[in-house]
Amino acid sequence: MDLKTSIAGIRLANPLMPASGPLVGSYEKMMAIADFGVGCMVGKTISIKGAEVPRPCIIANGNSIMNAELWSEYSMDYWIESILPKLRENLKVPLILSVGYTKEDMTVLIPALDKFCDAFEVSTHYVGKDLSLIGETVRTISDLTDKPVFMKISPHIPDPVAFAKVVQQNGAKGIVAINSLGPSMKIDAARRRVLVGNESGEVWTSGPAIKPVALAIVNKIKTAMPDFTVIAAGGVESALDVVEFLLAGADAVQMLSAAMLRGKDLYEKILQELPAVLERLEFNSVREVIETPLKKGEVKYQGTCPIIDHNKCTLCGICEKVCPYFALKITDYVQVNPQECFGCGLCQSKCPAKAMSGVL
């Protein structure tokens, strides 16, 4: 199975890479992640000074990570002296360096880091929503390097397409979508306190829980700008997720939070499973997935009732409990009241036995 792809002319052996964060905050960590076979490496965000990170700073929920992490706790000088030379010598895959945050920071960071990487990723998490300021920041960076620049979009940006067009006009070669959601909060009711967070009690949320938001923003940008590189981030935890993001419009995908929830070897597991998933879905390559149009817009306004496969149905009662239209009733079998059924699809999506069809 051919897993190759490319981002702004950079060839990758496969589409999976880490996202910027704690798993890629040192030479040893990045080399360990590289050993799992990822197609590209991304470093933790570098700024001029190291961040003072509150502790504790990371907490896991069932389907998400909430964190008060900032950029790298190491300064730019430390990265240049102690991390990047060894990485450039020994890393066998392309390296994207994440940098932040202001236009003034970039005039120092980009010239100092340029010789160590193949591309730059720029986080706009703390820059705000002003597209003119973001455009100026991109132009400053693009004038300082010949390497591709990928701008990472935060989900609080109100118009993702306008953001993408502004950064493209100012020299960026692509988008990373999306950064973590927030601010958010985690409360411990028993102790009447915020469990983890900054001085305001705020954290940022990432992981599988934000996948639907990431998919929509990836697709919105790619639909409007089909020739612009999009790297997906936010929600990947399986080989099937990789395929879904590629269908949505991504050229490659990043994953970090799921590896913190499920284990760092998840990178290796996904890459081992990806060929079989592609084959099951009748794809011959990653490139074929990327080039396959995503069907959407087939909207109907007349509902259909679910069809029940009584041989599969276990009479668990979930459909009756969750139906928002009170249209289902369990007796010796599942009964559907066609006068009450709205054809919403909830019952079919919730059925654990996959005994319902005809709606979705």
Domain boundary pick from 291, 325, 345:
291
Residue type, 66: M
Is residue 296 in a domain? Answer: no
Rg, the chain, Cα only: 23
Instruction: Give the tens place of pLDDT for each residue, 164-196.
Output: 999 999 999 999 999 999 999 999 999 999 999
Domain boundary pick from 291, 324, 339:
291
DSSP state of 13: S
Q: Which helix (H) or strand (E) holds 76?
A: helix 76-78
169-208 exposure pattern, b = at least 16 Cβ within 10 A, e = fewer: ebbbbbbbbbbbbbeeebeeeeeeebebbeeeebbbbbbb
* Residue range of the domain that includes 311: 307-357
Is residue 236 in a domain? Answer: yes
Q: Identify whether residues 276 and 212 lie together within a single domain.
A: yes
Q: Identify whether residues 204 and 351 lie together within a single domain.
A: no
Q: Are 117 and 93 in contact (CB under 8 A)?
A: no
Quote the distance between the C-alpha of residue 22 and its chain's center: 15
Q: Identify whether residues 260 and 328 lie together within a single domain.
A: no
Q: For position 127, what pLDDT does the model report?
A: 67
Counting the structural domains of the chain, the total is 2
Q: Identify whether residues 324 and 265 lie together within a single domain.
A: no
Is residue 299 in a domain? Answer: no
Domain boundary pick from 266, 291, 316:
291
Is residue 297 in a domain? Answer: no
Q: What is the pTM assigned to this prediction?
A: 0.94
Strand-pair category, 229-233 with 65-67: unpaired
Q: Identify whether residues 169 and 315 lie together within a single domain.
A: no
Q: Identify whether residues 143 and 261 lie together within a single domain.
A: yes
Q: Identify whether residues 254 and 353 lie together within a single domain.
A: no
Is residue 298 in a domain? Answer: no
Q: Identify whether residues 138 and 254 lie together within a single domain.
A: yes
Instruction: Give the tens place of pLDDT for each residue, 61-97.
Output: 999 999 999 899 999 999 999 999 999 999 999 999 9
Is residue 302 in a domain? Answer: no
Q: What residues contact 148, with CB distance under 8 A and at least 6 apart?
A: 7, 8, 9, 10, 118, 119, 120, 173, 174, 229
Alpha-carbon separation of residue 251 from 8, 212, 247, 289 (angstroms):
9, 18, 9, 10
CATH number for the domain that contains residue 311: 3.30.70.20
Is residue 300 in a domain? Answer: no
Q: Identify whether residues 255 and 344 lie together within a single domain.
A: no
**Mean pLDDT across 261-287:** 98
Q: Identify whether residues 65 and 197 lie together within a single domain.
A: yes
Q: For position 184, what pLDDT does the model report?
A: 94
pLDDT at 312 over 80: yes
Instruction: Give the tens place of pLDDT for each residue, 114-145.
Output: 999 999 999 877 667 789 889 999 999 999 99
Residue type, 30: M
pLDDT at 301 over 80: yes
Number of CB atoms found within 10 A of residue 75's CB: 15
Is residue 326 in a domain? Answer: yes
Instruction: Give the tens place of pLDDT for each residue, 259-273.
Output: 999 999 999 999 999
Q: Are 270 and 239 in contact (CB under 8 A)?
A: yes
Instruction: Give the tens place of pLDDT for each residue, 335-359.
Output: 999 999 999 999 999 999 999 999 9
CATH number for the domain that contains residue 45: 3.20.20.70
Q: Identify whether residues 236 and 320 lie together within a single domain.
A: no
Instruction: Give the tens place of pLDDT for each residue, 211-255.
Output: 999 999 999 999 999 999 999 999 999 999 999 999 999 999 999
Q: For position 101, what pLDDT does the model report?
A: 85
Q: Identify whether residues 229 and 340 lie together within a single domain.
A: no
